[in-house]
Amino acid sequence: MPELVHLDVADDVATITLDSEHNRNALSRQLVTELGEHLATADLQPGAKAVLIRSAGRVFCSGADLAEAVGDGMVEGARSLVALQLQIATSSKPVVVELGGPVRAGGLGIVGAADIVLAAESVTFALTEVRLGLAPAVISASLLPRLSDRSAADLFLTARTFDAAEAAGMGLVTRAVPDAELQAEVARVLADLLKGRPQGLRATKSLFNHDLVARIDTRGEQLAELSGQLFGSDEAREAMKEFLDRPK
C-alpha cells in the first residue's frame, strides 16, 4: 500500500507529513502506525534536533477513520492513539505542529500532545464526538491539561466549530498567524529551537511535560477502554453509519 506518512530529515529538522488525502488524513490504522514509526525514527536521528508534523492537502486531520470504526471497533485504535500522544510528549526532541488546515476530533490529540503548535488564522477546530454518541475520551488525556474546565466543557459538549484565534486564546495552540505568514513563522520557531543544545532541549521538555506524561500513563488504558465501549455501542454505530451514508 502507498505510504500515508512521509519522513524527511534535512537541515537538522525531521519533517513528518500526513498525506492521506482520500480520507482527509483520518486516523486510520495505517496512518497512526506510520506516524508512530516515523516519530520513533526521527527521535533516533542524530542529524535532527527538532520534529515538525505537518500535512499535505487542505485538511490536517479529520479525526477517527469512521469506516474502520464501524467495521472493526476501536479498542486497539484507541490504545494506539494513547500511545501516539505519549510518544509525542516523551520524544527527546521538541515536536512542532504546523496547522494549515482544519482539525477535527481525534486529530486534536496530536495538537494537545505537541510542544509548540502554530496555526494559520483560517484554520478551524471542532470536537464533534458527542454528535456521534461518543466522547473525546482518549484525546482528553492531552487536551484537558491545555484547557480550563470551562473551556473544555464548552468545546466538548457543544461540539461547536472554533477558529485559530480562539484556540490560541485558550492555550490549545501556541500562536495563530495570518495564512501567508505561517511558513515564515514555522521557519522562525525551528531556527530558534535549533540554537538549543540537545541535552538542554531534552531536559527542558521533560520538565514541562512531566504532568502530561503522568496523566497519559495513569489514565490511558481506562480512557482507551471507555472509547472502545462507546464506539462499539448501538447508538454510536447507528450515528456513524448515518454520517457515512449521508450524501457527499
Nearest Cα to Cα of residue 134 among 221, 61, 212, 66: 66
Q: How far apart are the first and last CA of the chain?
A: 25
Output the DSSP codes for the chain: ---SEEEEEETTEEEEEE--GGGTT-B-HHHHHHHHHHHHHHHT-TT-SEEEEEESSS-SB--B-HHHHHHH-SHHHHHHHHHHHHHHHH-SS-EEEEE-S-EEGGGHHHHHH-SEEEEETT-EEE--GGGGT---TTTHHHHTTTS-HHHHHHHHHH---EEHHHHHHTTSSSEEE-GGGHHHHHHHHHHHHHTS-HHHHHHHHHHHTHHHHHHHHHHHHHHHHHHHHHHTSHHHHHHHHHHHHS--
Grid coordinates standing for 106? 481525534
> Hey, which residues are catalytic here?
129
